[in-house]
Amino acid sequence: MTSKEVPLEYGKFYHIYNRGNNGCNLFHENENYEHFLYLFDIHIAKIADTFAWVLMKNHFHFLVRIKTTEELNLQGFQNLEGLKGTNRNFANQRFANLFNAYTKAINKRYYRTGSLFEHPFKRIPVTSNDQLKYLIYYIHHNPIHHGFCNHFLEYPWSSYLTMLSPKQTKLKRDEVLKWFHDKAYFKEYHSKEQIEKFNELQINSIYDI
């Protein structure tokens, strides 16, 4: 079993990311981005907390924490018995359901057939507070890195704008801002090129899109 196939475990943070099959575009117009987020809310919000996200034309990134069995039972999932056996694949299946639902919608909308996403989707456990903070930056910086914009505020399909907004959200905004102490340092951290942190955490060796 490769690291990309490791089951998602309850109560742990993960960087979830993937791209279109053979590099194909996942999103063609605004309604595609909106529909993916709608399906994400249906399939994932009940089983995971989301801390950051970005949708690019041919790939995406999410920072999530899979909820504990106690939290999941409160959400109405009654058949969880801990972390043993097939129960460890519970969250994996929810993500697979998301990708399958979106693939069906895109295939129908654009008269295409076959798979849309690479398999399996990629997941990397987050093991430190520094990695959590850097991942927030890395995810929000993705549109700049790929040349879609010059500033975080210019790209509409990421959680950066939600972090600065006063509007109610399911995103774990308050927790994220606490990691950065406050909104001012959150913005300052994002305004700097985090090259040293990139090299220290060896991000280039584990995140490839």
Give me the residue spans of the domains in the chain.
10-205
Q: What is the pLDDT of residue 187?
A: 93
Asked if pLDDT for residue 208 goes beyond 50, the answer is yes
Does residue 131 or residue 197 have the better pLDDT?
131
Q: What is the pLDDT of residue 160?
A: 97
User: pLDDT, tens digit, for every residue of 40-78?
Assistant: 999 999 999 999 999 999 999 999 999 998 998 866 665
Dig out the tokens for 174 from the structure.
């308050």
Q: Are 53 and 60 in contact (CB under 8 A)?
A: yes
Q: Are 69 and 112 in contact (CB under 8 A)?
A: no
User: pLDDT, tens digit, for every residue of 171-182?
Assistant: 999 999 999 999
The CATH architecture that domain 10-205 belongs to is 2-Layer Sandwich (3.30)
AA letter at 165? S
Asked if pLDDT for residue 2 goes beyond 70, the answer is no
Q: Which of 48-52, 77-81, 162-166 has the lowest mean pLDDT?
A: 77-81
Q: How confident is the model at residue 100 (pLDDT cuts 50, 70, 90)?
A: very high
Predicted TM-score (pTM) of this structure? 0.88
User: pLDDT, tens digit, for every residue of 12-50?
Assistant: 999 999 999 999 999 999 999 999 999 999 999 999 999
**Strand-pair partners of 123:** 16
Instruction: Write a three-state SS string for the chain.
Output: CCHHHCCCCCCCEEEEEEEEHHHCCCCCCHHHHHHHHHHHHHHCCCCEEEEEEEECCCEEEEEEEECCHHHHHHCCCCCCCCCCHHHHHHHHHHHHHHHHHHHHHHHHHCCCCCCCECCCCEEEECCCHHHHHHHHHHHHHHHHHCCCCCCHHHCCCECHHHHHCCCCCCCCHHHHHHHCCCHHHHHHHHHCCCHHHHHHCCHHHCCCC
**Strand-pair partners of 147:** none
Asked if pLDDT for residue 155 goes beyond 60, the answer is yes
User: pLDDT, tens digit, for every residue of 111-151?
Assistant: 999 999 999 999 999 989 999 999 999 999 999 999 999 99
Q: What is the pLDDT of residue 1?
A: 45
